[in-house]
Amino acid sequence: MEMEPKDYLDAIFDNMGALIANGTYESTLILAYPYCPTGNYDSDFLFYLFSMGNRAKLWAAGDEPPDSDRYTIYRGISGTGSPRGLSWTLSLCQACWFAARGENSVVCMAHIRKADVFCYLNSRRNEREFVCRPVTSNRLDLSIAEIVGLAESKLYLLMESGLDYDDADDYRDEFYTEGRDSRRVRIFKHEAPPGHFARTYRAIPSPARI
């Protein structure tokens, strides 16, 4: 019977000793993590899984990040999501995409040292993801219209980038069907003046990068 992605992390936890003993714990965790519904797990459990790995092996199993010792990162949350989660991104637009999928949308910003990051993941969906837990973070003062607009710009970049995958369509479908309400779609399509979101993006007081 084939294992479902939602069960990957539980299986890794149950077999942690054997995976560590044969030297495949870190690579298995990195391979499984992007496919798991991490919102279904307590962030302390996820932190424990990564803390049990060898930091050098976790970095080696992930992708190569932009060359820097410090990063400004973002996390988009909605509903009961927590800023203590481990999935952060270099992309403000990407964080807004995650925030805009549900109610009570919030985007947080933090600064992190490379030495405090478990790994960098970018090869699956170009999400520029850092797995880490910043000590502190700040909530960005963004309206729902601004969050939705920045999320839309992420979709635009995906669909216009020419990358050879179907994730642009997946993102678009998920964005418009998961947790979308008519008020938010109306805000983006009708209520914002032309150029509003471009000006908003440039006004963010941080080295925000798409």
Nearest-CA neighbor of 179 among 71, 99, 63? 99
Q: For residue 108, give both structure tokens.
A: 């947080």
- Name residues whose C-beta falls within 8 Å of residue 208's C-beta, 6 or more positions apart in sequence: 72, 74, 92, 201
The predicted pLDDT at position 114 comes to: 94
Nearest-CA neighbor of 89 among 42, 49, 137? 137
Digit-by-digit pLDDT tens for the chain (210 residues) are: 467 777 889 999 999 999 999 999 999 999 999 888 887 888 999 999 999 999 999 999 999 999 999 999 999 998 877 888 999 999 998 899 889 888 889 999 999 999 999 999 987 778 899 999 999 999 999 988 888 888 877 665 554 454 444 454 454 444 444 444 433 333 333 333 344 443 343 343 333 333
The predicted pLDDT at position 79 comes to: 81
The predicted pLDDT at position 177 comes to: 42
